[in-house]
Amino acid sequence: MIGSSKKERLGTEMRSESERHGLARITSQLGEPDIVSKLAVDLTPSDLTTLMLAVAERRASRIETADVLRRYRSDRFSGPGTVPFPHLREVEDLFIQAVPGGWAWVVPSPLVPFGTHATLGGVSQDWVVTATRPNEVAADPTVALALEAAVVRRDSSTRRAMEPQRLATIQRIVRGQLFASPKAFTHFSIFALATAGRGLPGERFEHKALAEHLAIYVGALSGVSEVVELVVSTGDDQSGRKLLEAIRDRWRADPKVSVSQDPRRFPGQRYYRKACFKVHAMIGGEKFEIADGGFTDWMSRLLNDRRERLLISGAGLDRPALALAATR
């Protein structure tokens, strides 16, 4: 998932083990060891929703006004963000202004269909906040952009001749996992891009889409960063080497942009296909990881069409907003 580090994922795995013990205790207390299976498998989605809404209504009727305020003060999901709004808005404007004409801005819903993050991104369900109805709170705006692009491209008789869909958004998202770092955000803003299109000879789609995404991040950061570093990771084959060399050629003459290769990342992950990248920026003498992205198989799976391609990327905005504020 965009914006999650290896250390954060390890912390979540440890927490999941604790939750499994807690689940065993709960099912034993209820005297129903198979209750999870019964609710998950034996009930239809609509019947489960009816049951959970009845439970939620019963529990909500017992809550007093003072309880709401007490929970708001202590609940990590409900409290306001810690980044001052003017600083966050300044960074949002930098990214908005870097997106060229021709891109379609999307205002995604704060919810996506239940199971979206798990189905597309292989994300554990405890990483997202699940709603009582068959939805879950947005935890990665690129999945919403992928769904929107798939809706536009769903007609197989027309998508072969379609121009690529270039979609952009900024969304406040929520992450369910509890990070070990006190500096981690439970909810934060992500600037996200998605380019969906048809595979072309010579992998022209991949070359153009990757260059466009990286150019937007360079454009957004070049005015506030001493150096922008593009770290690209590809497969160790002719296709990967050509893609990397094209990116190096694109920014070879720019002294404020460096292009480097991470040969270990791509073989060690299962999320991306063909290539992935990170964008680092030096702000106030400190290096920050700003953006992450890569090619996925989501579009080919959503449309059941192996010729469909999708490049996604995203940048967390809260941390660079704090970094910029510190330099003022």
Question: Quick one: what percent of the chain has pLDDT higher than 70?
Answer: 94
* Residues 148 and 167 sit within 8 Å (Cβ to Cβ): yes
pLDDT band, residue 4 (cuts 50/70/90): low
Region 298-319 average pLDDT: 96
In the prediction, which pLDDT does 13 show?
47
CA 148, chain centre distance (Å):
15
pLDDT per residue over 220-251, tens digit each?
999 889 899 999 999 889 999 999 999 999 99
The answer, yes or no, to whether residue 15 has pLDDT greater than 80, is no
pLDDT per residue over 38-47, tens digit each?
888 999 989 9
pLDDT per residue over 314-326, tens digit each?
999 998 998 888 8
In the prediction, which pLDDT does 12 show?
46
pLDDT per residue over 91-149, tens digit each?
999 999 999 999 999 999 999 999 999 999 998 888 899 998 899 999 999 999 999 99
Distance between CA atoms of residues 270 and 310, nearest Å: 15
E-assigned strand segments in 3-131: 104-105, 111-113
Out of 54-63, 173-182, 283-292, 306-315, which region has the weakest mean confidence (pLDDT)? Answer: 173-182
In the prediction, which pLDDT does 22 show?
81
If you average pLDDT over every residue of the chain, what do you get? Answer: 90
The answer, yes or no, to whether residue 155 has pLDDT greater than 70, is yes
C-beta neighbour count of 130 within 10 angstroms? 15
- What dihedral angle (degrees, nearest 10) is formed by the CA atoms of 18, 19, 24, 29? 110
What residues contact 323, with CB distance under 8 A and at least 6 apart?
283, 284, 286, 288
In the prediction, which pLDDT does 18 show?
67
In the prediction, which pLDDT does 270 show?
85
In the prediction, which pLDDT does 272 show?
95
Distance between CA atoms of residues 320 and 83, nearest Å: 10
pLDDT band, residue 11 (cuts 50/70/90): very low
In the prediction, which pLDDT does 249 show?
96
In the prediction, which pLDDT does 217 show?
97
Place of tokens 């009845």: 54
Distance between CA atoms of residues 304 and 141, nearest Å: 22
pLDDT band, residue 5 (cuts 50/70/90): low
What residues contact 184, with CB distance under 8 A and at least 6 apart?
8
Domains of the chain by range and CATH? Answer: 8-74 (no CATH), 80-326 (3.30.930.10)
pLDDT per residue over 243-280, tens digit each?
999 999 999 999 999 999 999 999 888 889 999 999 99
In the prediction, which pLDDT does 3 show?
61
Phi-psi label, residue 129: left if phi above 0, alpha if psi -120 to 50, beta otherwise? beta
Q: Is the pLDDT higher at 155 or at 18?
A: 155
E-assigned strand segments in 156-251: 165-174, 187-198, 228-234
Out of 5-9, 15-19, 27-31, 52-56, which region has the weakest mean confidence (pLDDT)? Answer: 5-9
In the prediction, which pLDDT does 8 show?
43
Region 163-182 average pLDDT: 88
Q: Is the pLDDT higher at 218 or at 5?
A: 218
Place of tokens 């491209």: 153
In the prediction, which pLDDT does 95 show?
97
